Structure 1
Amino acid sequence: MQVENTKTVPSFGYEILREDVLRSILGKNEEDILYWAGKDVARKYPLSDELAIAEFFIKAGWGLLTLEKEKKDERLYKISGNQELLRIDTRCFRLEAGFLAEQHERMTGFLTECYCEVDTKHKVVYLTIRTDYKEPITQR
């Protein structure tokens, strides 16, 4: 699915929603809810390949997504980019993790989870995708 960038939102407005409103509403459940919300967003914007996923990240303002390492059942991605927009020191990246997990699950047809690791020293976020090839998913 092609995502068009027809409108721009001031970053301040985005930050208010992402950093203040969501945290206030979600409270202690923020990480879990954002993960499942990311999976839901991925279902609404199904993408066909990794290039499309990386483009989506850029258009969504989620940063530059790059594949760092790849094994049979695991992939390591890095999110980097404009530090002012990404706010790596303070942001929860579970929305992005859920989105990436669901996209990979849809592409592989097997149960997939994503784990986040924030590297504040190098100002990057690592997302580790693990696919369980013994657990096929059923059609939704």
Structure 2
Amino acid sequence: MDDAVQSPEINTFSLAVLRDRLLPDLLQEDEANILYWAGKGLATRESLTSITTIEVYFNRAGFGNLKALAHKGSEIEWILSGPVVLARLTERDEPNFYLEAGFLAQIIETLVNVGTETTLKIEDEEVHFTTLCEQAIDLPI
């Protein structure tokens, strides 16, 4: 296959077209809720066993560069950045990162066997996630 067809720029563009043009049209006002639950569903099919494997998965899945920043008690702080995130932030005024949030919530819930929820906030050229657990957890970062 031609190298130009597989370039990262084209993959970033195709992701932006799907995530930020097609899905919003299909899902409309339910986009955030559906994508959050889709992310949770996707996570149930993955066998990730550590923070590092989650970070690697995000990169391989084309979500962006994920980094766990801090863990204190029942909260884990994450940051998502990189060319994919920047392209999506440029493509759409309010891009939706709820697929990634749902994925984080479910994969952490699976790892620690405690109910979780993940919230997000977009700042500058990054997405900040906070995973909240029902109780304090012991998970090395």
TM-score by length of 1: 0.82
Q: Distance in 2 between matches of 1:100 and 1:125?
A: 13
Give the distance between the partners of 2:129 and 2:88, measured in 1 at CA: 15
**Paired AA for residue 56 in structure 1:** Y
* Secondary structure of 1:23 counterpart: helix
2:51 alignment counterpart? 50
CA contact (8 A) 2:105 2:116 kept: yes
Aligned length: 126
Pair 1:98–1:128, CA change in 2 (3 A): same
Task: Indicate if the aligned counterparts of 1:114 and 1:129 stay in contact, CA closer than 8 A.
Answer: yes
Larger RCO, structure (CA 8 Å, separation 6 or more): 2
Higher strand share: 1
Q: In the TM superposition, what whole-angstrom CA distance separates every residue of 1:102-126 from its partner, at most 9, and x where no partner exists?
A: 000000001000000111xx31111
Task: Tell me which protein shows more helix as a share of its residues.
Answer: 2
Aligned to 2:131: 129
2:139 matched residue in structure 1: none
- The residue number in structure 2 matching 1:61 is 62
Letter of the 1:131 partner, please give it.
C
Name the SS of the counterpart of 2:135 in structure 1.
Answer: strand
Q: Percent identity?
A: 31
Kindly state the Cα deviation for residue 67 of structure 1 after the two structures are TM-superposed.
Answer: 1.5
Cα deviation code 1:55-100 (max 9, x no counterpart): 0111111111111221110011011111543426531110000000
How do 1:21-100 residues align onto structure 2 when only pairs under 5 Å count?
A: 21-82=22-83, 83-87=85-89, 89-100=93-104
Change (3 A) 1:29 1:92: same
**TM-score, length of structure 2 as denominator length:** 0.81
In structure 2, give the amino acid aligned to 1:72: G
Unmatched 5+ residue regions in structure 1?
1-7, 135-140
Spell out structure 1 runs of 4+ moving beyond 3 A.
83-86
- The one-letter code matched in structure 2 to 1:30 is E
Q: Which amino acid aligns with 2:78?
A: Y
